[in-house]
Structure 1
Amino acid sequence: MFNRYRISLRVKVLLVVLGTALLTSGLFAVRINTLLNQRFASYLDQTIEQQNLRIVAIIQELYATYNSWPVVAEHFDTVAPLANVVVRVKNLNNQVVLDTTTGRMHTWMLRRGMMGRGMMRQTWNRSFAEYVAEGNLFTYPLIVEGRQVGTAEIAVLGALGRWRQEDLEYRETMREAVLYSSLVAGMLALVLSLAFARRISQPITELTRVAERLKSGNLSARARVKGADELATLAASINAMAERLDQAARLRKKFTADVAHELRTPVTTLKSYIEALQDGVLEPTPERFTELAEEIDRLSELISDLQMLTVVDSEQPVLQPAAVDLAAETKNLLARMTPMFTEKGVALSVTGATSGWVFGDRKLLLRAVTNLVSNALKYTEAGGTVKVDIQATSSELIITVSDTGQGIPEADLPYIFDRFYRADPSRARSTGGSGIGLALVKEIVEAHQGSIGVESQVNQGSTFRLVLPRYVS
């Protein structure tokens, strides 16, 4: 039921981006409209104030000229810029001396069209007090020659209050402009959101598809994501992981075949010899028993490698650590291996420190060195040289094993420490081994907080560099 209504990532991204864009656009429009109203109201307040001050100035000028309120009232209707306002003037005795809502002034305003038709029907029966009741009253003192001669009261006319029709029309035009701009911004946000959602979701969908194929066992699946952003980096990492998994799977299959062969060869040989001896086909000579012993040693070596790899591969490898003079132990080991080099015709050179202490499992550490040296001997032809150099610094013991053998192709270098990997498949069985010797070296060294590295060129040889932390008593 849940999967039926599951929202895809593309829709989620689209909703989030589009929702954010529309919300921002809406808030922006509301804010613009609010500021527009505030600024427009301020503008109208200033306009009305300027008009009122002009009316007050005319009244003051008329009174200064005629010094008579009746004369001021008689001339006021011909000079005052009355538009949507009514005026009442009181003298110092609080008596009304001028009122544009009654008498000639009112008739004059109607005649000149300063009131709308609706206002005409209402104004005949409305007093100044009724306009004041609307709350749009402005009061100004009348000052002539430095003394107050009265008070002017100015009220805004009509149902529009202080908003004139042309002002309202202008404000509505601005609101429509803001609305249309918001709609255009919303449409643009929709288009950009669709593009952005597709840009984000498409690589993730591709990565999900590849992950599902990998989970189902299709290790050849690869993600096709272009670009240089984080998603492209993630795709490259997944592809690298898939490549490693595919490589590991191929190595496991190959190892199974190799181990089967490695086990079958000595077992078959042993069986053949024993049957031949039983049947009297072969004589039980010392040479025959030597050949049988070699096959048994070959089988034992393979089993020993597998057992040791299992030991160091556990989450908490069982080590028997102690202070070990690995430099001296290595030189003793090489002395014991010298006959093997002599027999094959390969020169062995040992240089460097005669003493260098580390803390670790002596048996495992010597096995790591043995594997490196044996590997160098195995791939070096007669007449070649294997060099072992030991350097002891204040913090590290460095053992370098170099040979003049066939070298390792550059494409194989990243994998030579992988289990079951052998860089020379065509000669894998002829050179012996199971392909886990270098993997075992890496596991042992890392279990002792060390590191192992390699440099190699085809037909020029290889150099392995083993680094372990020094032991400080």
Structure 2
Amino acid sequence: MRQGRGSLARRLLVGQTLVVLGMTVSIVVVAALVGPAVFNDHMRRAGHGGQPDVLEHAQEAFYSAGLQSIGVGLLVAAAGALLVSLVTTRRLGKWLDALSRGAVRVSAGRYDQPVQLAGSSPELERVADAFNGMAAQIQTTEARRRTLLTDVAHELRTPIATIDVTLEALEDGVLAPGPDTYATLRAQSARLARLASDIRDVSAAEEGRLRLSTEVTSIWDVVEASASQWRQRFEEAGVTLIHTAGPDIALHADRARIGQAMDNLLANALRHTPAGGHVEIRSSHSRGHVAIEVVDDGEGIAPEALPHVMERFYRADPARPRTDGSGTGVGLAIAHAVARAHDGDLQAASQGPGRGATFTLSLPSSPNLHRS
């Protein structure tokens, strides 16, 4: 730590020295003004007021003894105070220097060396803990930013390449303009728009900026609305969508966000269930929580992939590209973020490849809002 004229340790030491000097001057002045009068009064009460020689000698002895004792006492006290001040300011300077070096490391992008303030006060330890927590949060955010940039670059490659190839074929006359060509361009453009929207939502969720507009909502209405919206697409894909009715529970929730989560769960189930398969939606209520299960008998999930299926852009089979534009790779991450924003959770379960999967959206129900 720099010990220049403006350093905090130097200022504290100078300030404490001035306090000690001021205290010394105050004691000497007060003793000089008050001491003689008090002493003379006591001498007169003792019957020595009419003995000038005795009184003068006693006063001289009083002054001499008083000044010597006060001087020695003040010197000892001042030396002790300054020593304690010096030790304290040096230790404080060392702790502040550790915080300064930690800030420099963080600004340089090094987050793996937490600030240690061994032996410091509880206040400084709380500052160090808060600083280390901030550094860890910055590290997490930076890691997510880098991963997001990499993932986005990868995900943008396919639709951009498709649009580029289609436009080049149109320019070279290899491909004639027509409904199929326009449909391809529109599909890839829509995929880019969905990707941008989904990335915005999942980034906001990961940073704690996912806004909710809660109201008393019927969970049955939300689930039924999603099922109705997706039923035709399931029929077109040859997949049977079953909605098993459960108790109608009212809860405080953001209807649009819960619907968004349900849409992503149904889209994921449809994407991984072949023609002839089944997807079932179940609703239940137990111990203050509403559980919505989306169960399919499709491809299933390998055990090693289960902990990662809700990570954005994660693919259980990396060799399988998303060339059909059916998903952006962040749907489950958004559904999970919506659940957590409602103080709920989203869990995935599967008995293995080829044995289907179950996604359970759990939300806390509101007290006294159960509808019979």
- Structure 1 350/33 Cα, relative in aligned 2: closer, same or farther at 3 Å? farther
Give the match for residue 241 of structure 1: 137
* TM-score scaled by length of structure 2: 0.62
Instruction: Report the CA distance between 1:158 and its aligned residue.
Output: 6.9
**Aligned residue identity for 2:116:** K
**Aligned residue identity for 1:246:** E
**Aligned residue identity for 1:329:** A
SS of the residue 1:236 aligns to: helix
SS of the residue 2:318 aligns to: helix
Give the match for residue 328 of structure 1: 224
CA–CA distance in 2 between the matches of 1:42 and 1:179?
21
Kindly indicate whether the alpha-carbon contact (under 8 Å) linking 2:347 and 2:360 is maintained by their aligned counterparts in 1. yes
Instruction: Report the CA distance between 1:427 and its aligned residue.
Output: 1.8
Query: Does the alignment pair 1:450 with 2:342?
Result: yes
Give the match for residue 199 of structure 1: 94
SS of the residue 1:430 aligns to: coil
Kindly indicate whether the alpha-carbon contact (under 8 Å) linking 1:326 and 1:355 is maintained by their aligned counterparts in 2. no
Kindly indicate whether the alpha-carbon contact (under 8 Å) linking 1:338 and 1:348 is maintained by their aligned counterparts in 2. yes
- Structure 1 375/48 Cα, relative in aligned 2: closer, same or farther at 3 Å? farther
- Structure 1 180/45 Cα, relative in aligned 2: closer, same or farther at 3 Å? same
CA–CA distance in 2 between the matches of 1:409 and 1:170?
88
Of 404, 410, 422, which residue of structure 1 is paired with 2:313? 422
CA–CA distance in 1 between the matches of 2:266 and 2:24?
75
**Aligned residue identity for 1:437:** G
Task: String of CA shifts for 1:156-205, please: whole Å, max 9, x gaps.
Answer: 3278364143x433223312321221331243134223323323421331
Query: Does the alignment pair 1:184 with 2:79?
Result: yes
Unpaired runs of 5+ residues, structure 1, are 1-5, 53-84, 86-136, 138-153, 214-218
Kindly indicate whether the alpha-carbon contact (under 8 Å) linking 2:151 and 2:313 is maintained by their aligned counterparts in 1. no
Of 137, 148, 160, which residue of structure 2 is paired with 1:252? 148
CA–CA distance in 2 between the matches of 1:301 and 1:220?
37
Task: String of CA shifts for 1:249-275, please: whole Å, max 9, x gaps.
Answer: 313321332233231353366569879
Kindly indicate whether the alpha-carbon contact (under 8 Å) linking 2:226 and 2:262 is maintained by their aligned counterparts in 1. yes
CA–CA distance in 1 between the matches of 2:251 and 2:289?
9
Kindly indicate whether the alpha-carbon contact (under 8 Å) linking 1:156 and 1:162 is maintained by their aligned counterparts in 2. no
Kindly indicate whether the alpha-carbon contact (under 8 Å) linking 2:295 and 2:359 is maintained by their aligned counterparts in 1. yes
Instruction: Report the CA distance between 1:457 and its aligned residue.
Output: 8.1
Kindly indicate whether the alpha-carbon contact (under 8 Å) linking 2:281 and 2:295 is maintained by their aligned counterparts in 1. yes
Give the match for residue 260 of structure 2: 367
| Identity, % of aligned positions | 12
CA–CA distance in 1 between the matches of 2:317 and 2:29?
81
Kindly indicate whether the alpha-carbon contact (under 8 Å) linking 2:20 and 2:78 is maintained by their aligned counterparts in 1. no
**Aligned residue identity for 2:52:** V
Aligned Cα root-mean-square deviation (Å): 5.7
Task: String of CA shifts for 1:61-84, please: whole Å, max 9, x gaps.
Answer: xxxxxxxxxxxxxxxxxxxxxxxx
Of 167, 186, 196, which residue of structure 2 is paired with 1:306? 196
CA–CA distance in 1 between the matches of 2:349 and 2:24?
66
SS of the residue 1:226 aligns to: coil
Give the match for residue 70 of structure 1: none
Task: String of CA shifts for 1:360-416, please: whole Å, max 9, x gaps.
Answer: 88776433212123335657899x997744235899754345786236779869x83
Of 112, 115, 128, which residue of structure 2 is paired with 1:225? 115
SS of the residue 2:301 aligns to: coil
Query: Does the alignment pair 1:436 with 2:330?
Result: yes
* TM-score scaled by length of structure 1: 0.52
Task: String of CA shifts for 1:396-454, please: whole Å, max 9, x gaps.
Answer: 754345786236779869x83xxxx32448728625633332454467678xx734534
Pairs within 5 Å for 1:10-29: 11-16=7-12, 19-20=15-16, 23=19, 26-27=22-23
Query: Does the alignment pair 1:209 with 2:97?
Result: no
Of 369, 379, 391, which residue of structure 1 is paired with 2:284? 391
Aligned length: 342
Instruction: Report the CA distance between 1:244 and its aligned residue.
Output: 2.7
CA–CA distance in 2 between the matches of 1:26 and 1:440?
66
Kindly indicate whether the alpha-carbon contact (under 8 Å) linking 1:372 and 1:438 is maintained by their aligned counterparts in 2. yes
CA–CA distance in 1 between the matches of 2:138 and 2:358?
29
Pairs within 5 Å for 1:401-416: 401=294, 405-406=301-302, 416=311
Task: String of CA shifts for 1:284-342, please: whole Å, max 9, x gaps.
Answer: 9xxxx6x99688646534423434766997x99899x9976113324445755656897
SS of the residue 2:88 aligns to: helix
CA–CA distance in 1 between the matches of 2:251 and 2:67?
87
**Aligned residue identity for 2:267:** S
Instruction: State the structure with more CA Rg.
Output: 1
- Pick 1 or 2: higher relative contact order, CA cutoff 8 A, min separation 6: 2
Pairs within 5 Å for 1:27-426: 27=23, 30=26, 49-50=45-46, 52=47, 137=49, 154-157=50-53, 160=56, 162-165=58-61, 167-210=62-105, 212-213=107-108, 219-220=109-110, 224-227=114-117, 229-267=125-163, 270=166, 278=174, 297=187, 300-307=190-197, 325-332=221-228, 353=246, 355-356=248-249, 365-375=258-268, 388-391=281-284, 398-401=291-294, 405-406=301-302, 416=311, 421-424=312-315
CA–CA distance in 1 between the matches of 2:168 and 2:232?
33
Instruction: Report the CA distance between 1:469 and its aligned residue.
Output: 6.9
SS of the residue 1:467 aligns to: strand
CA–CA distance in 2 between the matches of 1:32 and 1:349?
95
The structure with more strand, counted as a fraction of residues:
1
Give the match for residue 99 of structure 1: none
CA–CA distance in 1 between the matches of 2:304 and 2:242?
21
